[in-house]
Amino acid sequence: CSVRHATAAETERLCGCCAAGFCFLPSSSHSITDSNRADAHYERSPESPPVDFGRHSSSPIEGTPTLSTIIMRDLVSPTNTVENASLRKNATRPVLLRKESYLSATEDTQLSIPVKTSDSKKVNNVAPNNNEATCLHPVFSPSSDTKAVNVKEEVDRETVARASFPHLPTNLLNGTDFEVLKNNLDLGNCLETLFLAKRHGQMSLQQAALGVMSNNYLQVLRDPNLYGRLMAGEREQILKQRMSGRKFVMVADIDPQDWVINTVGETAKTKQGTRSSAVYYYDDYKDSWHRLCMIPLEVVSQACAVCTMDNYLFVAVGCQGTDREMTPSKRVFCYNPLTSIWKEISPMNESRPRCKLAALDGYIYAIGGECLSSVERYDPRLDRWSYVAPLPNDTFAVAHHVTVANGELYVSGGTLRYMLLRYNPLTNTWKSSMLAGGKDRTADMMAVGRFLYRFDVNPMLGVSVYRYHLVARLWYECSCKRLQRCPTFQCVTMNNLIYCVSRQFTISFDADEISPAFTEENLSVLNAAKGILFPFVLSLPDKNLRQTSV
């Protein structure tokens, strides 16, 4: 419309669409919106009768409106709306805002908006099953006789205008119904429930919705429609809440003999009772080990690798099967301690028996493997593995030990010579240096603060600990412990303590910057272990959580 809105006296000269309320005027300082833009907000069915906007006295022709449903977000109800169309001609028309024009257009053209019926007032509060994830929202279905429905009288225009998708009825605004929503949260409805809780100031419901996202962080991270709509503070909160439980030293007792048990034709009940592979946690208050869960047979393998990230346990399968039927695998699994769910993620690009896993800056790196120098990393947001810079040529047949410090990966070992490699993810490059020490076999390497700690094993003398300053780049022996017939072991660090775990002993090393040394007490041994022990650290919830429907 090209007619200018100037004063109330010029209202008589407005065109028909202006008088009918279809000219969109954002403010007095802006020009009138082109009528072509109005077509983007609604669509008229070709079967609908035409409406004559050519004269001032024309009115919409009554008929059966078949226009498509309009979903209006964050609009406000008009404060001054002329109800009687016959009075518009003589009434002084106030200047309409853009949002008010949408509502005026809706009313004057009798757009068909879905109406709540008595059968659609109930909210589907039943949690979906594991095969489908749905949003918790009521389904509004118009009555069968929509031709006779007066939209103006039966639809609360303010409710429709202010509601966001999915539309929630007004009877879900009391404390009882908020509790119903809280008890039926899942990944399909937690985001819309979070928005509803924020809009009505329901902090407990808001925390419950964020808690569901925190418990299922990996699924949330993969969904751009869910994780992408969270604010930065909410993203930090769900990750912080996930790590807020009590930390425990744990071990994955992986016994490849479980594959032998699986091939002798036993019953399922016998297999479950005979299998030994399990996850155990150490209670330092009581100095005792407790079983957390069994490890599925699909995860059990020889030459596997483990690491943790975002309070998940990741296991890269090595070789599975028995004797001649043993084959290398590309499969990778993760375990969620908050829901006690094992899940398979995207497989690696190639099988990597005897590789090493390490988590750095939100990625998981699979380094080397048996006769492999390639390296690939896993992006949890894309659920995809991609190659990065390989290990230097002719240096490693197997990546012996890996740790993370100062935002870089450190790999020790070597085929022809003993080396220390350092990987910078920003430049995607490796740098090498010689690794000092004797001819003793290295059991493991850990990073605490500004130092790397390397544990070398001598079967007759015991354990020698060498320390490497990350800034000065110097190696020197800092401690030792005499142990007769010292077996091999693996290490994990928690709270500046390095725990050395094997089937024969559990000892701790205080990684103090001034005087590092082994502690005097000998900790409880995991007597139930039958396989290879892989230690790690996870946070467990303070109480049992209800498994979330995903």
Going by their DSSP bridges, the two strands 312-316 and 305-309 should be labelled as antiparallel
- Verify that 225 and 257 share a domain, yes or no: no
Residues 236 and 262 both lie in one domain: no
Same domain, 380 and 298: yes
pLDDT at 261: 66
Least confident of 28-37, 165-174, 445-454, 489-498: 28-37
User: Comparing C-alpha atoms, which of 307, 271, 519 is closest to residue 409?
Assistant: 307
For residues 82 and 18, what is the distance between their CA atoms, to the nearest angstrom?
A: 13
Q: CATH number of the domain that 511 lies in?
A: 2.120.10.80
Question: What pLDDT sits at residue 83?
Answer: 43
- 548 within a domain of the structure (yes/no): no
Instruction: Determine the pLDDT at residue 244.
Output: 92
- β-strands 327-328, 475-482 pairing: unpaired
Q: What share of the chain in percent tops pLDDT 70? A: 62
Residue with more model confidence, 171 or 280: 280
* List of residues 6+ apart from 473 with CB closer than 8 A: 433
91 — pLDDT class (breaks 50, 70, 90): very low
Q: Which of 187, 217, 242 is the last residue of a domain?
A: 242
Q: Indicate whether 301 and 441 sit together in one domain.
A: yes
| Residue 160, pLDDT score | 33
Decide if 547 is inside a domain: no
Looking at the structure, do residues 90 and 162 belong to the same domain, yes or no? Answer: no
Asked whether residue 395 is domain-assigned, the answer is yes
Lowest mean pLDDT of 238-242, 327-331, 458-462, 493-497, name the range.
458-462
2 located within any domain: yes
Residue 188 belongs to domain spanning: 157-242
Instruction: Tell me whether residue 496 is in a domain.
Output: yes
pLDDT in tens, 470-520: 999 899 999 999 988 888 899 999 999 999 999 999 999 999 999 999 998
Residue 515: which residues within 8 A CB-CB, separation 6 or more?
A: none
Q: What is the pLDDT of residues 410-456, one digit of tens each?
A: 998 776 677 889 999 999 999 988 776 666 788 999 999 999 999 99
| Same domain flag for 96 and 175 | no
Among 112, 143, 167, the domain-final residue is 112
Handedness of CA 196, 197, 202, 208 (dihedral sign): positive
Higher pLDDT, 144 or 239: 239
Decide if pLDDT at 184 tops 50: yes
**Residue 468 in 3-state DSSP?**
strand
Euclidean distance between CA atoms 78 and 72, whole angstroms: 14
Q: Are residues 197 and 259 in the same domain?
A: no
pLDDT digit string (tens) for 48-90? 444 443 444 434 434 444 434 444 444 444 444 444 444 444 4
Lowest average pLDDT, out of 109-113, 170-174, 237-241, goes to 109-113
Residues 518 and 384 in one domain: yes
pLDDT reported for residue 176: 58
Q: Is the pLDDT of residue 119 over 70?
A: no
Pair 262, 398 in one domain: yes
Chain centroid offset of residue 223 CA: 7
- The answer on 376 and 482 residing in a single domain is yes
227: its two tokens: 């994780």
pLDDT reading at 349 higher than 60: yes
CA–CA separation, 95 vs 442, rounded Å?
81
Looking at the 3D structure of the chain, how many domains does it have? Answer: 3
Question: Using an 8 Å Cβ cutoff, are 361 and 425 in contact?
Answer: yes
Q: Would the pLDDT of 228 be above 90?
A: yes
Measured over the CA atoms of residue 17, residue 19, residue 21 and residue 23, the dihedral's sign is positive
Q: Based on the domain organization, do 381 and 491 belong to the same domain?
A: yes
Q: Are residues 64 and 172 in the same domain?
A: no
Which pLDDT tens digit goes with each residue over 367-422? 988 888 899 999 999 999 999 999 887 666 676 899 999 999 999 877 667 788 99
- The DSSP symbol for 474 reads -
Round the average pLDDT of the chain to a whole number and report it. 74
Domain assignment present for residue 119? The answer is no
Give the mean pLDDT of 126-143: 37
Torsion on CA atoms 182, 188, 189, 195, rounded to nearest 10 = 120
pLDDT class of 544 with cuts at 50, 70, 90: low
Last residue of a domain, one of 190, 225, 242: 242
Q: Which residue has the higher pLDDT, 203 or 65?
A: 203
The CA distance from 186 to 164, in Å, is 19
Section 95-104 average pLDDT: 50
Residue 261 falls within a domain, yes or no? yes
Q: What local confidence, expressed as pLDDT, does residue 522 receive?
A: 85
Separation CA 427–CA 180 (nearest Å): 51
Residue 135 clears pLDDT 50, i.e. is over it? no
List residues bridging with 114 in a β-sheet: none
What's the pTM? 0.68
- pLDDT for residue 284 is more than 50: yes
Q: Would you say residue 139 lies in a domain?
A: no
Element (H, E) at 364: strand 363-369
Nearest to 492, CA basis, from 502, 481, 483: 502
Nearest to 399 by CA among 425, 372, 422: 372
The letter for the amino acid at 109 is: T
Check if the beta carbon of residue 475 is closer than 8 Å to that of residue 483. Answer: no
What is the structure's pLDDT at 55? 41
| Tokens, residue 82 | 């002329």
> What value does the mean pLDDT take over residues 208-225?
95
Instruction: Please tell me which residue, 473 or 165, carries the higher pLDDT value.
Output: 473
Mean predicted confidence (pLDDT) in 303-321: 96
Q: How far apart are CA 526 and CA 290, in angstroms?
A: 9
Query: Exposure pattern of 393-411 as b/e (b: 16+ CB <10 Å)?
Result: eebbbbbbbbbbbeebbbb
Q: For position 390, what pLDDT does the model report?
A: 93
